[in-house]
Structure 1
Amino acid sequence: MKKIRGTFLSIPVLLLANAPALWKLIDINSLLKTLIIILLALYTLVFMFKSHGRKGSHGKIRRLDSGAFVLGCGVLQSVIQFIIVIVLCFTKLNGWRLLANALCAYAITTLLCLSGIVRIAASARQVKILWYVILLFTWYIPLVNCIVFRKFYKAARSEYYFEQAKLDLDAARKENEICKTKYPILMVHGIFFRDWQVINYWGRVPNELIRNGAEVYYGKQQSANKVSVSATEVAERIKEVIAETGAEKVNIIAHSKGGLDSRYAISHLGMDKYVATLTTINTPHYGCKFVDMLLGKIPESIQGFVDRKYNKLFTALGDKDPSFLDGVYDLTYKNCSELNASTPDSRLVSYRSVMSKMNSIRSAGFPLNIGYLLNKPYGKGNDGLVTVESGLYGENSKMIEHKGKRGISHGDVIDLFRENIKDFDVREFYVDIVKKLKEQGF
């Protein structure tokens, strides 16, 4: 229906694009012709810059819908214009008039498409950077640019429908507050990241949980350090959240090394009386054997160099006393085995673990694709950093099954790349986790 509407609304733009030919073919007063062309030009400007987004949508979603609509009209007009060019060759128009018409049509149609592209670029998250590079070098090449424009159109439409469906779903269940748990949610990040500055470690997940009633806080531990040090910071954060909210306990959702930090805080630092549940996501409970292998082969001088550079960078970003090597060594199989032996689960806390895996090296980019290869000898599957055997912990463990060639990587499971993955909605994955916590009385 929208395509039909777009076809009719863009007819005046198509007429303006063929103004040189119509000026010659239509036998009316020149002044009237000029007036018509001025009106068509004004209409075209309004059409290009008017928001055509769905009523009720807002912000980026509306711009995305509008951009896809205008771009779709431009691509369709390109096809129609190609037919018009062929037809005009059999009319009484001379060569220079045909050339002038072709140039006018090319300019207006390209402007129409670029108008849509600009809105998409300002709103879309699912268009890969590679396609922007391709666009940069092909937008002026007829037919080739149509192929690229169509790629942008399809990506934008797909993202729009996905995000709009998400908004509609949230609106429909808003009153139910399905993520409003008894205790607040504390999200504890993994190694080499910070979770509360500039770029959210958890992507679009926290806002989705909040929209559905959750009370969300962050671990705020340093990006890299020994498990015992990070655990002390997590313990302090737990106390802060309890003091701020007045809650008796928290529900922890921890990713990667954050799961080890949380387990240590619970079992060694007396946090079991303040933690109701711990859900670990792709945590290397039994270590990363490929890390043992790499540390055994990389010279200590290089290890020290990387450690110094990393620590200097993250100190500048706000860490008080980061330690790259201490954090990495605590992920080895040897150190995790020692941690497990000295860190029994508390009977006061409900534990559950979740793990995913990549299905091929193409499931993720660098460095996870390299990690995938390095991990292959050490398990039946891995997420680019952690093997399945290491990530599944305790009796209440769950494997994320993803069909097809892609799978779910260590970054995908925290929405690191903000990508809409077919057959895996990461936001709904976390909504389901928190929803079950609520249903279980936590």
Structure 2
Amino acid sequence: MPSITATIKPYPQPDIIHVDLPILMCHGYAGGVSALISQAPLHEPCMLFRSRGAKAFAPNIVPYASIETRAEEWMTRIHALKQQYGFEKFHVIAHSMGGLDMRYAIAKMDAASSVASLTTIASPHHGTTMAELVLKTPGPLRGPMKQFFDWMGAQMYAEAKSDSLAAVEQLTREYVQKEFNPNIPDHPDVAYYSYSAATGKGTNEPLNPIYSIQNGMIYDQEGPNDGFVSVESAKWGQHHGTMPIGHIEQTMIQVAGGRKKLVDQVWVDVLKGISQY
């Protein structure tokens, strides 16, 4: 009789990762475009978290708007989740611009009473060259681009007014470093953590060719980056390390087949980190 070499595991399912509080996942700028592909910009990471036992939520808000407007939207989501489920506090994971939204909400809108920790992923805490490149778009093109993105934002999300240009202006290095950071102090009752990311130029990690030009331009100004935000700009609070995945990959969109396991593991590691808070 032939031997059977395959074995079965007593517990083949992935381990549950215990997190003491629910997790709110806040998306960044242009999240509405991602929502055309997925149900929400951070929907896939959220569902991965749920598969590991976490009470995770990844709502949609206005995709193109100022930090102040987006912060108000996140506060609305926080209050709704607290009312629906009886939650008192959250661990917040914020991607890209979402990190600035939540820093503002914590400092200016009493979100600190509902947030135990803020973990940011590739957030431009010191601004990004990418925003400056967008603002250098010639006027005859910039006006129609703004009108298009504001129109698209209104079609996808009518609950708040879209303002794509105001959002970009608030992501420049000058604005974040001279206006935002000096006026948005960290709250003593909230723990702040961050992850940066780097692919393409200056690394051994592949980058979607679509982003190669901007990756190089950001590198020349700020060093290694994920195609949108540099490693140095993403550091805030306790820095947990640099992810080897691109900015859009971080949302589990535009992930090449051979990199899915890597992206999944990066998010699992984030969840494990939160379980230690």
| Category of TM-score, reference length = shorter chain | 0.7 to 0.9
For residues 210-289 of structure 1, the aligned pairs below 5 Å read: 210-289=50-129
Q: CA deviation at 1:433?
A: 2.0
For residues 285-300 of structure 1, the aligned pairs below 5 Å read: 285-295=125-135, 297-300=136-139
- Are 1:323 and 2:163 matched, yes or no? yes
Structure 2: how far apart are the matches of 1:356 and 1:300?
32
Contact 2:196 / 2:243 at 8 angstroms: preserved in 1? no
Distance 1:287 1:307, change over 3 A: same
Match of 1:345 in 2: 186
Q: CA deviation at 1:367?
A: 4.1
Match of 1:75 in 2: none
Q: What amino acid sits opposite 2:62 in the alignment?
A: Q
Q: Secondary structure at the match of 2:233?
A: helix
Which one of 142, 156, 172 corresponds to residue 303 of structure 1? Answer: 142
Q: Secondary structure at the match of 2:162?
A: coil
Q: What amino acid sits opposite 1:304 in the alignment?
A: G
Structure 1: how far apart are the matches of 2:64 and 2:11?
38
Match of 1:372 in 2: 215
Structure 1: how far apart are the matches of 2:81 and 2:35?
15
Structure 2: how far apart are the matches of 1:233 and 1:334?
25
Which one of 191, 194, 201 corresponds to residue 29 of structure 2? Answer: 191
Contact 1:368 / 1:410 at 8 angstroms: preserved in 2? no
Match of 1:399 in 2: 241
Aligned length: 265
- Which structure has more relative contact order (CA 8 Å, sep 6+)? It is 2
Which one of 227, 247, 250 corresponds to residue 413 of structure 1? Answer: 250
Structure 2: how far apart are the matches of 1:192 and 1:392?
22
Q: CA deviation at 1:294?
A: 4.4
Instruction: Give the alignment's Cα RMSD to 1 decimal.
Output: 2.6
Q: Secondary structure at the match of 1:305?
A: helix
Q: Secondary structure at the match of 2:91?
A: strand
Name the TM-score, length of structure 1 as normaliser. 0.55
In terms of fraction of residues, the more strand-rich structure is 2
Structure 2: how far apart are the matches of 1:369 and 1:198?
22
Q: What amino acid sits opposite 1:438 in the alignment?
A: S
Q: CA deviation at 1:359?
A: 3.0
Structure 1: how far apart are the matches of 2:227 and 2:124?
12
Map Cα deviations across residues 73-96 of structure 1 (whole Å, 9 max, x no partner): xxxxxxxxxxxxxxxxxxxxxxxx
Distance 1:322 1:367, change over 3 A: farther
Contact 1:220 / 1:234 at 8 angstroms: preserved in 2? no
Distance 1:202 1:278, change over 3 A: same
Distance 1:400 1:424, change over 3 A: farther
Structure 1: how far apart are the matches of 2:259 and 2:195?
19
Contact 1:203 / 1:416 at 8 angstroms: preserved in 2? no
For residues 145-224 of structure 1, the aligned pairs below 5 Å read: 171-173=13-15, 177-178=16-17, 180-194=18-32, 199=38, 200-202=40-42, 204-224=44-64
Map Cα deviations across residues 373-410 of structure 1 (whole Å, 9 max, x no partner): 2212212211111111111112x1033264xxxxx211
Q: CA deviation at 1:290?
A: 4.1
Match of 2:5 in 1: none
Match of 1:162 in 2: none
Q: CA deviation at 1:242?
A: 1.4
Runs of 4+ in 1 over 4 A off after TM superposition: 195-198, 420-424
Contact 2:201 / 2:219 at 8 angstroms: preserved in 1? no
Distance 1:185 1:298, change over 3 A: same
In terms of fraction of residues, the more helix-rich structure is 1
Distance 1:169 1:316, change over 3 A: farther
Match of 1:61 in 2: none
Distance 1:306 1:172, change over 3 A: closer
Structure 2: how far apart are the matches of 1:366 and 1:203?
25
Q: CA deviation at 1:417?
A: 1.8
Q: What amino acid sits opposite 1:359 in the alignment?
A: G
Gaps spanning 5+ residues in structure 2: where? 1-7
Distance 1:271 1:186, change over 3 A: same
Give the stretch that moved more between structures: 411-420 or 183-192: 411-420
Q: CA deviation at 1:366?
A: 5.3
Distance 1:401 1:198, change over 3 A: closer
Name the TM-score, length of structure 2 as normaliser. 0.86
**Structure of larger gyration radius:** 1
Which one of 210, 232, 253 corresponds to residue 389 of structure 1? Answer: 232
